[in-house]
Amino acid sequence: MNFIGKLIGIIVGFKFGGFFGAIFGCILGHLADKKLYELGNVGSSLFGHRVSRQSLFMQTTFAVMGHLSKAKGRVTAEDIDLANSIMDRMQLSVDQRKQAQAAFTRGKSPDFPIRQAIKEFRIGCGGRNDLLRVFLEIQIQVALSDQELHLNEKEILFIVAEELGYSSFQFEQMLAMIYAARQFSQGGGFHYQYQQYQQQGYQQHSGGYQGARQSASGPTLETAYQVLGVSADDDRDVVKRAYRKLMNEHHPDKLVAKGLPEEMMEMAKEKAQQIQAAYDLICKVKGWKK
């Protein structure tokens, strides 16, 4: 985040109002810095010399989606339909849709510089962990949309995670949380049984790997814990801290202010709803007051 506005605000405020003037000036300067950050452009060697943070987020998202689709061997009609359905859901304008389609096509190229793209994206986002986390979560969810995680897809996702600064442990933990969260968004329909994935591995399937499937009657307490990244042995304070941290990281308005395209706000809302549903279930079963 820029700090020049706060610095000027403190100096001018102190000059005209002393200590309290400096405080007031710092507050105004912070608001100015925030607005300048939102409106500011960043550099990108792939999508234009100077682009807005929102445009960089959107174009990088669809480029990586294209790269994930190609990783399975060939881009299928289902992959293209999925990309178009996400564009429809985001209600992109004509120009935005052209940008997204161009980015998706570029991502399909065998020589697409995935590491360079993610490095520039990370810099463009100012290294903000909440934005980086949401970006990776979106890519994982896209890879799982066909109810299968191909081995090559996982390798690319790990490259993305690595370039965003996540360790292999953090990446696997995020996978577990998203596997579990799918129960809360799908009403107990198909979901991956992550424990079998960890303990038994995937079964070879069509050149990749397919998770063990199970029909569930609905979200369970175990998956609720996994959504929050905690265990059944954790006490109320630990669970509550994890819940609050995740809700803060996935607050739609805060994410948009930091660079998430407004068109992706609904995705952020859905994630926040999953987190809330998991916490509500834990509190209900445990008899905790929220």
> Given CA atoms 6, 10, 13, 17 in this order, what sign does their dihedral have?
positive
* pLDDT single digits (tens) 66-116: 999 888 888 888 888 888 888 887 778 899 889 999 999 999 998 999 999
* Pair 61, 138: CB distance under 8 Å: yes
Neighbours of 136 (CB within 10 A): 23
> Which residues are registered as beta bridge partners of 205?
208
* Pair 275, 227: CB distance under 8 Å: yes
Element (H, E) at 44: strand 41-44
* pLDDT single digits (tens) 19-46: 656 575 566 555 554 554 544 566 677 8
Mean pLDDT across the chain:
76
DSSP 189: S
More confident residue, 269 or 278: 278
- The pLDDT confidence band at residue 253, using thresholds 50, 70 and 90, is confident
Cα–Cα separations (whole angstroms), residue 192 to 128, 175, 202 = 30, 11, 11
